[in-house]
Structure 1
Amino acid sequence: MTDLDANGHELRSGLRYPWPQPPDSGQVLEVAAGLWWLRMPLPFRLDHINLYLLRHNDGWVVVDTGMNTEQTRNVWDRVLTQVCAGLPVLAVVCTHFHSDHAGVAAWLSQRFHCPVYMTASEFQSLHVKFPADQPPGWDFLDFYRKAGVDDAQSMEMFAVMSNAHFLPAPLNHYRRLREGSLLQIGGRTWQVVIGSGHSPEHACLYAAEDALLISGDQVLPRITSTVGVHATEPDADPLRDWLDSIDKLRALPDSVLVLPAHERPFFNLHQRLDQLQAHHAAHLALMLASCAEPRTVLELVAVLFPRLSGRFDELMALGETLAHANYLLAEGSLEREEEQGRYRYRRAVGAARAAAPLKVF
């Protein structure tokens, strides 16, 4: 039997869930006055994304859009007719640039001649086009070789990233969101709270008076958002940004209803932030413990992520393993050496040292 709190909310892992079940795929559920939760299907093992529809005057504001697929557009056609009652979309807000969040932002904008709101870094990242119509460059192959991946496996990863699912429709305009920006939507004031690590400048929306937080991928209740290093910026330190963002989000009240991009809405924000912080602390400790002898990134992937299925999982796991390695390198807790074109990581001897200077060539 499911444990319930005094208000009848489901309890699990210290979090409270007001709704025991999500809406069916492609269906909606009203979670607050004028605020609807839309369950949009995805063509992956993670088979959904949560979008949010905010009623505003004689129309709607959409938060996130789903992927750039025919299935997504078909669901939108039905929702716009049956849920939105033919009223127009007045604006689109994208929490960040990833394809499941911004995939059809341009399509909705063109259909309704409406603006798209997002942060500057997310808009710019949306336009860093992956060269899907070209063979991978030397830099791509070099990045994965240094991680311990052979070229055949790298080509399979390249094919995964070249999938059209991951290519949002081109967007030629936006209206910029900044930290602290205020959006007046449907009688509520939504404040923009910026996080990073999962993406460069992720926008969460916080309505203080109603204690609501649309968290996108910045806070999820059961799974952890990918925090990864990729070939476009091999020396990035996104985990530091992610952990800093966790500390920043603690300034929000624990009582907010968190409306995430995946899984179900929940209460107990601070408990979840504690869990996310502990998750990464455990991975950092495990990586250090595994580096008494030199290890490649690929060897460390097997330590941190022992159960993977398919190239997509391997791709995400490799990026996240590198994020932890780069964090520890910057802390001086790991050392890195190159041997026969591969990086190997070893626990630093003695106390943590100052970070090494940037190697230019």
Structure 2
Amino acid sequence: MTDLDANGHELRDGLRYPWVQAPDAGAVLKVAPGVFWLRMPLPFRLDHINLYLLRHTDGWVVVDTGMNLDQTRKVWDQVLTQVCDGLPLLAVVCTHFHSDHAGVAAWLSERFHCPVYMTTGEFQSLHVKFPADQPPGWDFLDFYRKAGVADEQSVEMFGVMSNAHFLPAPLNHYRRLQDGSVLEIGGRSWQVVVGRGHSPEHACLYAADDGLLISGDQVLPRITSTVGVHATEPLANPLHDWLGSIERLRSLPDSVLVLPAHERPFFNLHQRLDQLEAHHRAHLALMLASCDEPRTALELMAVLFTRLSGRFDELMALGETLAHANYLVAEGSLVREEHQGRYRFRCAVRGACAATPLKVF
């Protein structure tokens, strides 16, 4: 039986959900005056992304777009006719570069001759692609070899990453969002709050006067956003950025209505931030406890993620594992050593240097 508060909000795991059910795939729900929640289908186990339509004067501004799929364009055709009443899109805002968020930004922009807003870090990342018509390069294979992955498995992972589903339509222009930028939309001032770790320069939109936060993937209820290290930057420390962003987001009021990219809108932002931090701290502790003997990233992945299904899950889990390992190396709790072409991680000797020197070549 669902627990409800006096306002009819569902209570679950310390969060309050104003809507017990999400709209059907392709349908919209009004969440505030001039703000509509669109449920766009995705072809994965995580079968949806939440997009937001913002009414503005004689048209609409959309936040995020869905993947570069015929199904996505079909849903947009339906929404533009039935929900937008034939009024044009005036702008597209992309919280970040991932394919489910920016997949058809270029298509919508071309259709309506409207600008696309995103941060510079996300625009640049949008153009870093793995070519689908070429085999993986030496750097890609080397990255996964060092993690303990066999080349055959790496090639299969490369096939997942170069799948057309994960390649947004090319975008040749953008208007820059920066932390603190303000977008005036529909009589509201939406301030850009940049978060990091899940992606380089993720833009959340905060309307202080109305207590609304479009959080993209930076804050999700129930599930946790991927914080991963990949072949493009093998020694990255995105978990440091992620935990720092959690602290930054604590400056926003706990009372905001969080409009996330997945699952349902919710209240109790600070409680969710506490949960997200605790999740990663628990993974860090578990990893440390598992490194009394040297371990590869692949071995540590099996400790942190006991149930995986397919190469996509492995790809994400290995990236997360490396994010936690690199964080612990940076703070001096783990040491990264190369042995027979593999990186192995072990607990640092007490009193040793606080950080592993960067090997230049």
How many residues are aligned here? Answer: 361
Residue equivalent to 1:109: 109
CA distance in 2, matches of 1:356, 1:292: 17
**Aligned residue in 2 for 1:215:** 215
Corresponding letter in the other structure for 1:205? L
**What's the CA shift for 1:6?**
2.2
SS in 1 for 2:253: coil
| CA displacement at 1:162 relative to structure 2 | 1.2
- SS state of the match for residue 31, structure 1? strand
Deviation at 1:8, TM superposition (A): 1.5
CA deviation after TM superposition for structure 1 residue 278, in Å: 0.2
In 2, Cα distance between the equivalents of 1:280 and 1:295?
19
1:134-178 CA-to-partner distances (Å, cap 9, x unmatched) read 110111001000000001100110111111000000001000000
- Please give the alpha-carbon distance, in whole angstroms, between the structure 2 residues aligned to 1:254 and 1:5: 17
Alignment of 1:259-338 (within 5 A): 259-338=259-338
Structure 1 CA distance, aligned partners of 2:167 and 2:356?
36
Query: Which piece of structure 1 moves more, 347-356 or 182-191?
Result: 347-356
Q: How does 1:192-271 map to 2 (within 5 A)?
A: 192-271=192-271
Q: Alpha-carbon deviation of 1:357?
A: 2.6
Aligned partners of 1:35 and 1:178: how far apart in 2? 22
CA contact (8 A) 1:333 1:353 kept: no
Matched, 1:128 2:132: no
Contact 2:335 2:356 in 1 (8 A): no
Question: Residues 51-74 of structure 1: CA distance to partner in whole angstroms, max 9, x if unpaired?
Answer: 000000010000000000000000
> What is the alpha-carbon distance in structure 1 between the residues aligned to residue 356 and residue 150 of structure 2?
28
Q: Secondary structure at the match of 1:314?
A: helix
Structure 1 unmatched runs, 5+: none
Alpha carbons 2:38, 2:53 under 8 Å: kept: yes
Check the 8 A contact 2:336/2:356 in 1, yes or no.
Answer: no
Distance in structure 2 (CA, Å) of the matches to 1:199 and 1:22: 26
- Contact 1:50/1:261 (CA < 8 Å) preserved in 2? yes
CA RMSD of aligned residues (A): 0.7
Give the distance between the partners of 1:352 and 1:5, measured in 2 at CA: 53
Matching residue's letter, 2:248:
K
Q: Cα offset for 1:353?
A: 3.6
Does residue 1:345 correspond to 2:345, yes or no?
A: yes
- Which segment drifts farther, 189-198 or 346-355? 346-355
SS of equivalent to 2:144: helix
Provide the rounded CA distance (Å) in 2 between the counterparts of 1:171 and 1:352: 48
| Residue in structure 2 matched with residue 68 of structure 1 by the alignment | 68
Aligned to 2:119: 119
> CA separation in 2, counterparts of 1:221 and 1:250?
16
Q: CA deviation at 1:261?
A: 0.1
Q: CA deviation at 1:27?
A: 0.4
CA contact (8 A) 2:129 2:162 kept: no
Q: Residue 209 of structure 1: SS of its match in structure 2?
A: helix
What CA deviation, in whole Å up to 9, does each residue of 1:64-99 have, x standing for no partner? Answer: 000000000000000000000100000000000000
- Could you list the runs of 4 or more consecutive aligned residues of structure 1 that deviate by over 3 angstroms after TM superposition? none
Q: String of CA shifts for 1:289-334, please: whole Å, max 9, x gaps.
A: 0000011100000000000001000000000000000000001100
**Contact 1:62/1:92 (<8 A) preserved:** yes
Give the equivalent residue in structure 2 for 1:21. Answer: 21
Q: How does 1:145-160 map to 2 (within 5 A)?
A: 145-160=145-160
Superposed CA offset, 1:190-244 (max 9, x none): 0000000000000000000000000000000010000000000000000000000
Q: CA deviation at 1:352?
A: 6.6
Offset, 1:351: 4.6
Letter in 2 for 1:318: L
What is the rounded CA distance, in whole Å, between the counterparts of 1:178 and 1:354 in structure 2?
A: 33
1:40–1:66 Cα contact (<8 Å) kept: yes
Which letter does structure 2 place at the counterpart of 1:260?
A: P
SS at match of 2:210: coil
Query: Structure 1's 335 and 43: CA in aligned 2 closer, same or farther, altered over 3 A?
Result: same
CA distance in 2, matches of 1:317, 1:353: 29
* 1:247-286 C-alpha deviation (Å, 9 max, x unpaired): 0000000000000000000000000000000000000000
Amino acid at match of 1:32: A
For residues 285 and 320 of structure 2, what CA distance do their matches in structure 1 show?
14
**1:248 aligns to what SS in structure 2?**
helix
Q: CA deviation at 1:3?
A: 0.9
Contact 1:197 1:227 in 2 (8 A): yes
How much has 1:132 moved relative to structure 2? Answer: 1.7
Whole-Å Cα distance in 1 between the matches of residues 198 and 169 of structure 2? 21
Do 1:34 and 1:186's aligned partners in 2 also have CA atoms closer than 8 Å? Answer: yes
Are 2:61 and 2:89, in contact at CA under 8 Å, matched by a contact in 1? yes
Q: Report if the CA contact (8 A) 1:331-1:352 is conserved.
A: no
Q: 2:34 matched to which residue of 1?
A: 34
- For the residue of structure 1 that corresponds to 2:209, the secondary structure is coil
Normalised by the size of structure 2, how large is the TM-score? 0.99
| Residue 337 of structure 1, CA deviation | 1.2
Please name the residue that 2:176 is paired with: 176
Distance in 2 between residues matched to 1:351 and 1:286, nearest whole Å: 22
Rounded Cα–Cα distance in structure 2 between residues aligned with 1:112 and 1:135: 37
